[in-house]
Amino acid sequence: MPTPAHKGNTLKFTPKELIALGIFTAVYTVIYMAFNMLGAVAPILQLVGATLAALLNGITFMLFLTRVRHAGLITLMALLLGILVTIAGHHPISIVTALVAGIAADVIASRGGYRATVPTVVAYGVFNLWVSGGYLPLLFMRDSVLSEYRRQMGDQWADAFNALFSPAVIILLIIGTVVVGMIGGWIGRRALSKHFERAGLA
């Protein structure tokens, strides 16, 4: 697919870009929340839900990039996601991790004009690190987090969560987030070229 000319790395967004930001952030959030609700059934399903959400949202992210012409929109999407999950109950560090992941993804995607396959796939992998804010508190305030889970979900659920999400698993999970994200990005690119572009939607 040819790479359209990019308008540069300015932060002057168009109304269409801001509308696209709102729409695709909403779609991303609905998919993320829907799959993560599986975790309420059993902690192991949290991993399954997070993986499925990251894979499916690869399509959401790649469609979003077809509307991006200026640097900063990926960062804004990540920041909005961080704020939304913080409002929903995550630790405020989620805002920090989202901002860092968003900036890094923005820089990477911009190297290919927000259109080239490899930079956008890698960018989505890095973008997915925004979710690490939900896991990092388990490394430095574990007792407090588990106490809250016991209050909300009950002892059995909290014990299963504690056994599954050891510090070593948390670190591997954060690394795996990037890998799964890149797979999701590749799926998104394939869907873009096979279906959405042919249908004139991208």
pLDDT at 197 over 80: no
Interatomic CA distance for residues 101 and 191, integer angstroms:
24
Percent of the chain with pLDDT over 70: 91
Burial category of 192 from C-beta neighbours within 10 Å (exposed 0-12, middle 13-18, buried 19 and up): buried
Rounded average pLDDT over 90-111: 96
Q: Which pLDDT belongs to residue 4?
A: 43
Interatomic CA distance for residues 86 and 64, integer angstroms:
23
* Mean of pLDDT over the chain: 89
Q: Which pLDDT belongs to residue 194?
A: 76
pLDDT band for 11, please (50, 70, 90 cuts). Answer: low
pLDDT at 39 over 90: no
**Closest Cα partner for 27 from 71, 107, 68, 84?**
84
Q: Which pLDDT belongs to residue 175?
A: 94
Rounded average pLDDT over 45-53: 93
pLDDT at 8 over 80: no
Structure tokens at 53: 């959400």
